[in-house]
Amino acid sequence: MSNENLQQLLNTPAAFLAEPEKDGNVAVFTRIRLARNISTFPFPCAAHPEQLTEICELVTAAAGNCEKMNKDGCLSFDIAEMTPADREILKERFLAGKEILSGPENCRLLTGKDSSCSILINDEDHLRIQILAPGFQLDQAWVDTDALDNALSAHLDYAFDDQLGFLTSSPANTGTGLKASVLLHLPGLVMTGKLGPTIQGVNKLNLAFRGLYGEPNENPGNLFLISNQVTLGDSETGIIGKLSQVVRQLILHENAARQLVIQKDQAALLDHVGRSYGILRHGFKLSVKEALNCLSGLRLGVDMKLFSHVDMNCVNEMFLTVQPVHLQKYAEKNLSAAERDVFRAEYCREKLKK
């Protein structure tokens, strides 16, 4: 059952990885997540199994009444029943955090087929409501999140304190329960050595900024997630407004850095892009790190209109699908690390053959 749903999820293009209609391609996607709890139950960490089961059913029923969750078919995943690898796939697809990897009982993910809206039940909080949207769309994503939240609250009695706001399992989320993030592709800042100063600047603004993949200071793929850190003492629109302002600045900086690179040595930039494509299109062995770096180069090339036959959606999706667990799933059998590198290269060649 979970397995069938997972196949449907893998076979449906993720809407948040599509090419955005505006604001260019520096921002890959926007994510907004709300932490909510039901007032009549203890937080998940303190609840009895029967209570958790009841919460699961209550939220599932409430979600069943939300048009947004059901417009293209809602998929349900009972996390405890899934294999560790399948759980990892949900994590790699940004539908849940690392907490689900241990397979907590009575934890359930409900998600629209295209992943654009989802609810994670009985993870750290009773509900984690999430909206994923392509590109830089914090304002629209907030409107959508708020609408989904309101629709659910018509059926659920949220734990709310007049002084503190929404109550959450971890004090770090109390207040708005809001975590807004934008995934940015910043090859220009990396190439010009301006990433370090940028990170320092962002950190001073009480925002979190981290590389999506690899070890710190390694950042294969040049993808960076920027999020608010403070959930208390400001309104939702206040938090989102401040984050928007910084993201807009970062996009400007990235585009300026790209222009700088082009002016300094256009051929070197084109060479970087061309080789990235050449290796993905013709290689036969590809580590995840090299694949991510080549995808970053290719993404830059698609953005620069060098590869008219490669679409951004495909490149964005490949960032996900070259990951070890996704690949393992596509291969439909266990692969050693060396076999996976060969299969990854084959997968990339086929994807780019069109």
Nearest distance, CB of residue 333 and a second copy, angstroms: 17
Q: Rank residues 41 and 343 by Cβ distance to a second copy and give the closer one.
A: 343
Q: Rank residues 103 and 274 by Cβ distance to a second copy and give the closer one.
A: 274
d(CA 219, CA 222) in angstroms, rounded, equals 6
CB 42 within 8 A of CB 134: no
d(CA 117, CA 137) in angstroms, rounded, equals 14
Q: How far is CA 243 from the centre of its chain?
A: 17
Looking at residue 238, its amino acid is G
Cα separations in angstroms, 172 against 124, 169, 231: 12, 9, 7
Q: Rank residues 146 and 346 by Cβ distance to a second copy and give the closer one.
A: 346
Q: What counts of helices (H) and strands (E) characterise the chain?
A: 12, 10
CB 233 within 8 A of CB 164: no
Nearest distance, CB of residue 318 and a second copy, angstroms: 16
Compute the C-alpha angle 150/240/126, nearest 5°.
Answer: 40
Q: Rank residues 1 and 337 by Cβ distance to a second copy and give the closer one.
A: 337
DSSP β-bridge partners for residue 223: 185
Nearest distance, CB of residue 271 and a second copy, angstroms: 4
Task: State in Å, rounded, how far the first CA of the chain is from the last one.
Answer: 32
Nearest distance, CB of residue 351 and a second copy, angstroms: 15
Q: Rank residues 4 and 284 by Cβ distance to a second copy and give the closer one.
A: 284
Nearest to 20 by CA among 198, 143, 141: 141
**Helix residue ranges, H only, 12-137:** 49-64, 67-70, 84-92
CB 121 within 8 A of CB 110: yes
Q: Rank residues 71 and 275 by Cβ distance to a second copy and give the closer one.
A: 275
d(CA 292, CA 201) in angstroms, rounded, equals 26
Looking at residue 120, its amino acid is L
Nearest distance, CB of residue 291 and a second copy, angstroms: 13
Q: Rank residues 16 and 277 by Cβ distance to a second copy and give the closer one.
A: 277
* Cβ atoms within 10 Å of 304's Cβ, excluding its own: 14
Q: Rank residues 120 and 348 by Cβ distance to a second copy and give the closer one.
A: 348
d(CA 272, CA 5) in angstroms, rounded, equals 39
Site for a second copy, rule CB under 8 A? 267-268, 270-271, 273-275, 277-279, 281-285, 341-342, 345
Nearest distance, CB of residue 265 and a second copy, angstroms: 9
d(CA 143, CA 337) in angstroms, rounded, equals 43
Nearest distance, CB of residue 276 and a second copy, angstroms: 8
Nearest distance, CB of residue 304 and a second copy, angstroms: 12
Nearest distance, CB of residue 293 and a second copy, angstroms: 14
Q: Rank residues 123 and 290 by Cβ distance to a second copy and give the closer one.
A: 290
Both tokens of 224, joined, read 């960076």
